[in-house]
Amino acid sequence: MKGWLSLLFIFAGLIWMTTNIVHADQAVIQVDRLNVRSGPSLSDPIIGQANNSETYRIVNEKNDWTQIEWNDKKGWVASYLVKIKQEESLTSKVDYLRVREQPGMDGKLRGYLMKNIQVTKKKQQGDWVLISSAKVSGWVHSDYLSTYTHSNSKGKKETTSNTKSLGQVTVTTAVINVRTQGSTNTSIITQVGKGKTFDYVSESKGWFQIRLDNNKTGWVAGWLVTDKKSSTSTPKVQSSKITLLYNGTNIRSGPSSNNKVVGHGHKGDQFDVLGKEGQWYKISYKDMEAYVAGWIVKAGSSSTPPQPSNKKSDSLSGKTIMIDAGHGGFDPGAIGANGSYEKTLTLQTTKKLKNAIEQNGAHVMMTRSNDSYVSLSARTILSNTSKADVFVSIHYNSFPKDISVSGIGTYYYHSNSKSVASNIQSSLAEAVDLRDRGIKHGDFHVLKNNKKPAVLLELGFLSNPTEERIVKSSVFQNKVTQGVVNGLISYFD
């Protein structure tokens, strides 16, 4: 008997004694008829297509491409057109948990799980869960599984059940992502809807760590929620007057872009402030109460235009904006008089613009988010297959033959893009002090081959040494960002 038991435990060790494995992420397809290629580039052959909402396990990632397990093969898809979903990790509550070939007590036995061994949940059928691990895969009863909890350096499991709540946050937009860390670059745990309220146990750099219903925690962006503690107090009005910064400013019946427009103001107009609700000022307008957005006015006597707000408004709620950072990778674009690269400036500007647009409630898609090369055809394909409402391409100009040439301009190609071009250029001209070059018809690939309302912005001349120094500054880029956001708000209004 003693020898038999020794043999049994040796066998058990071969099956069960394994270190915790890292679970795989999944790619959820975001469009129909997405091409699956044999390699990570547009020049590689198409081996098939995947459709919207289909989910595949991620095998590898390279540059802007994701390799997936597809129809018993491996193929590559554009990372822009998939959403990463983290697979759920589970552990066994008991030793010697039976793993079966089929969901049910009559399923043939495949092996066993030992207590606290981490596995990946593949899918669920009734009370039975299909799990996968390095040693054994199959079906186990859900009653004997629990959610995996990471261990700290002392070997004790982290728990949030006894962590003191610092307050509550309420979701203010339609759907937000709950992430593993306080950054948009981390994995998505789940999604929660508008109106949901959660206790939060930590706050860092504009993010809240919230406690979910299953007692796990995740991080949500602070600009997409309201803090109950701060929202209960009425904001103090710092000035008895506000001054409009732009022509054609909408004045509304209530503190939201969904409220009726009761009039318009012009740059320099001043109004008495009656109060403040969120990011909106209540003003006295033609012997009645009205509202104007706080991010397009100046309060007090300062002559410095406000920088983009760090707080979220709902001005662009429900909209999707695709931002295109011109050039990238081995294509530097224009090279400035003092050596700056257009590709670097466009990326800096688009990152600021992304944050500002998201803070105003819209969803943002980027054609590139790092220093990588993306072909013009890939950019237009991405736009045409997306649900974007507007495509905005960011560039900086150059004319070395005459370094005195200066100014900002906006280009469009199709007639459906003229309105958004006009609104953005008008707001840009109000926001920055460079020459207004107006809007022009531009025969650019990303405009001509784009089915969406699309504009290309030239935000100053790098060949002009003075203008190059101006456009490189964070002050200028903040003004540009606010100008584009205001233009989009005007366009959708």
Catalytic positions, please? Answer: 458
Longest dimension (CA), the chain: 97
User: Which helix (DSSP H) or strand (DSSP E) does residue 241 occupy?
Assistant: strand 241-244
Closest alpha carbon to 20 in 129, 134, 128: 134
How far apart CA 77 and CA 67 sit, in angstroms, is: 6
Tokens encoding 21 = 């494995």
Burial of 473 (0-12, 13-18, 19+ CB in 10 A): exposed
- Among 316, 88, 79, residue whose Cα is nearest residue 185: 79
- Closest by CA to 206, choosing from 234, 181, 229, is 181
- CA distances 282 to 184, 235, 254, 256, 396, Å, are 34, 12, 8, 11, 38
Q: How far apart are CA 391 and CA 451, in angstroms?
A: 10
**Residues 6+ positions from 301 with CB-CB distance below 8 Å:** none
Kindly give, in sequence order, each residue whose CB lies less than 8 Å from that of residue 323, ignoring residues fewer than 6 positions away: 350, 353, 354, 357, 364, 365, 366, 367, 392, 394
Q: How many CA atoms lie within 13 A of 119 on its CB side?
A: 31
390-413 burial, b at 16+ Cβ within 10 Å, e below that, comes to bbbbbbbbbeeeebebbbbbbbbb
User: Would you say 23 and 120 are in contact if contact means Cβ atoms under 8 Å apart?
Assistant: yes
Close Cβ partners of 166 (under 8 Å, ≥ 6 residues apart): 200, 201, 202, 203
Contact 362, 314 (CB under 8 A): no
Q: Which of 264, 291, 289, 263 is nearest to 279 (CA)?
A: 291
Which one-letter amino acid corresponds to residue 368?
R
